[in-house]
Amino acid sequence: MGATRQILLTRHSVLPGFGLALGFTLLYLSLIVLIPLSATFFKTATMGWGAFWEAVTTPRVLASLRLTFGASLIAALINAVFGLLVAWVLVRYRFFGKRLIDALVDLPFALPTAVAGIALTTLYATNGLIGHWLDQYGIKVAFTPLGIVVALTFIGLPFVVRTVQPVLEDIEAELEEAAACLGANRLQTFVRIILPAIGPALLTGFALAFARAIGEYGSVVFIAGNMPMISEIAPLLIITKLEQYDYAGATAIAVVMLVISFLLLLAINLLQWWSSNRTKSNR
Amino acid sequence: MSIEVSNISKHFGSFTALDNISLEFPSGELVALLGPSGCGKTTLLRIIAGLEQADSGKVLFHGEDASRRHVRERQVGFVFQHYALFRHMSVFENIAFGLRVKPRKERPSEAEIQRRVHELLNLVQLDWLHDRYPAQLSGGQRQRIALARALAVEPQVLLLDEPFGALDAKVRKDLRRWLRRLHDELHVTSLFVTHDQEEALEVADRVVLMNHGRIEQIGTPGEVYDHPASPFVYGFLGSVNLFHGRVHGDHLQVDDHVLALDQHTLSADTQAVAYARPHEVDVVRPEPGATGIPVVIRRILAFGGAVRLELERTGAESKENAGTPIEAEIGRDRLRELGLAEGDQVLIQPRGARVFPVSTAATNQAEKAAA
């Protein structure tokens, strides 16, 4: 027992420095992540259990949480499907302007979110370029929950593309050829061979896009319309509470979001750990 | 099932991979496609499998044109050099894959799949590994699993692309013997690609030698080794010594020396090159009356059943012959009898050397230099 512990901690390596690296990592994560986040817990603790429960279970807060997590989930799912498609096209085909499209994918990262929000609102408003056209079919995007999904999809796109792309590039053509020789059709080859291979990366991309969407604020407030109970997201509600000097109330919502997000991401990580463990084996 | 390819050509850009190839593979034989890298052997195999399309020509399975048939309809088993096992599936699932993807009507029941997979695992002697994942197996085990997977769909033809290329020497040797035994058991028409002449000669019923997208010779291992049809085949199937000279009746005039020849059809006074394998070279002491080509012993490699001598020509006048290394192989007893040491001057007498006119031999030499 003691011996295995020893081996784990001081495994020989050409690049030593386990102690220093771990120490720095812990310090760094504490400063950047843990301390600021624990502050929200401390602040929330000042209000007591009863007041906390009351603050986070008002219909308005519950509606905003539902909207935030619901819209983020939908947006992340859309990104998983279409991000995979974009990655597929970028990896598998050669065409004119491929580099340009490749560069375009990262733009949602670079663009200030407010700019994205305003641009999307202009496009999707009932008098906008796309919104005008959609309006004829009775579809309203801007100032509805649908608009929120559009904004969250926009900001989450690069995550899935960039995580799946390298893995897709690494898949050997021979695997597909082997499957074809064994009689598998295209759909079977994709579902049974390619999807499992890119699954972990796709899940990572999905988790990142999902997490990013939960915390998104800048682009959403412009397109959402921010009507309480209908199109008001939780981060906006936090800001509203802050503006009313209700600091404890604001951190209470933050704590609920943190806990839910943490549990969801933990679940995704466990899923990933389980799936990679299955293939990489216990050597 | 017999396979026939007729007039197959394939180009990659300006590179000619296959130049009008026609071949027949009789049912139940194990045939090796042998040649240096870039000779088109793998391309030919992939065209037969349907993984690559020929520019022109036909592939016939059992006399029927299969050129337009898709890979998955050709019923070929393909084994890749780097195994191409599905990493996320256990060994069992890898082998079962071909059965599970069958259309519902043809798909065997779960119990039948279990039975078939275990039967195949027993055939490749790896049943105890059925629940492992490919990452947990050694290279040799992976290739045997890949073979079992290919056999699961009961292919009409088995195609192996450098199946032992990624394995170390010891495992290769074992697997070769094992593949041969397996083929004798199953009798499925098999083609395997290799650049290793020893492997081809040891395993195959017949060997097809290829070079530059063309077929150089087809024959049993014995035929191609003993009667090479071209200088290329001579050079490719083991080490060989070259002697440049001029043909005079039944001998070759090499500078001032005379070299006895095997029967040949070259006309007198032709510039020619004689080919002799190391074990066909006799070594004698330069005593009065002894004839032969003078050489000096550079190294004596005294291990194994036969002793190898690295020799160098001395006093050669023509520039093709000057300084060419020569290899001779003699018995241990003969070495002791002659009492040879490194640095000694000796004479060599190649027995039954075969001649080829200089034009064909020259291309072979250029290739050797390029390699």
CB atoms within 10 A of CB A223: 30
Using an 8 Å Cβ cutoff, are A244 and A103 in contact?
no
Using an 8 Å Cβ cutoff, are B175 and B152 in contact?
no
ipTM: 0.81
Of A265-269, B62-66, B247-251, minimum mean pLDDT range: B247-251
Give the H/E segment covering residue A159.
Answer: helix A145-170
Give the H/E segment covering residue A87.
Answer: helix A59-92
Give the tens place of pLDDT for each residue, A75-106: 999 999 999 999 999 998 889 989 999 999 98
Kindly state the DSSP code that residue B72 receives in the 8-state scheme.
Answer: G
- Kindly tell me if the per-residue pLDDT of B287 is higher than 90: no
Contacts with A201 from chain B: Cβ below 8 Å: none
CB proximity B84 to A under 8 Å: yes
Average pLDDT over residues B299-304: 86
Q: Which of B71, B81, B117, B157 best tests the A interface by mutation, with the highest count of A CBs <10 A?
A: B71
* Cα→Cα distances B357→B231, B237, B321, Å: 10, 19, 16
CB contact under 8 Å between A281 and B132, yes or no, is yes
Q: Tokens 């035994």 appear where?
A: B181
CB contact under 8 Å between A181 and B149, yes or no, is no
CB proximity B268 to A under 8 Å: no
- Kindly tell me if the per-residue pLDDT of B360 is higher than 80: no
Contacts with B95 from chain A: Cβ below 8 Å: none
Nearest to A182 among B70, B98, B132 (CB): B98
Computed over every residue of chain A, the mean pLDDT equals 87
Q: Write out residues 273-302 of B within 8 Å (CB-CB) of A.
A: none
- Kindly tell me if the per-residue pLDDT of B103 is higher than 50: yes
Q: Which of B86, B95, B157, B159 best tests the A interface by mutation, with the highest count of A CBs <10 A?
A: B86
- Higher pLDDT pick, B260 / A281: B260
Nearest to B101 among A182, A278, A283 (CB): A182
pTM value is 0.79
Contacts with B87 from chain A: Cβ below 8 Å: 197, 279
The per-residue DSSP string of chain A comes to -HHHHHHHHT---SS--HHHHHHHHHHHHIIIIIHHHHHHHHHHHTTHHHHHHHHHTSHHHHHHHHHHHHHHHHHHHHHHHHHHHHHHHHHH---TTHHHHHHHHTHHHHS-HHHHHHHHHHHHSTTSHHHHHHHTTT---TTSHHHHHHHHHHHHHHHHHHHHHHHHHHS-HHHHHHHHHTT--HHHHIIIIIHHHHHHHHHHHHHHHHHHHHH--HHHHHHH---TTTS--HHHHHHHHHHTT-HHHHHHHHHHHHHHHHHHHHHHHHHHHHHHHHHH---
- Kindly tell me if the per-residue pLDDT of B350 is higher than 90: no
Nearest CA in chain B to A283: B136
Average pLDDT over residues A227-256: 89
Six-digit token string for B337: 């009898």
Nearest CA in chain B to A189: B101
CB contact under 8 Å between A185 and B135, yes or no, is no
CB contact under 8 Å between A185 and B72, yes or no, is yes
The domains of chain A, with CATH numbers, are 49-282 (1.10.3720.10)
Using an 8 Å Cβ cutoff, are A87 and A165 in contact?
yes
Average pLDDT over residues A109-114: 88
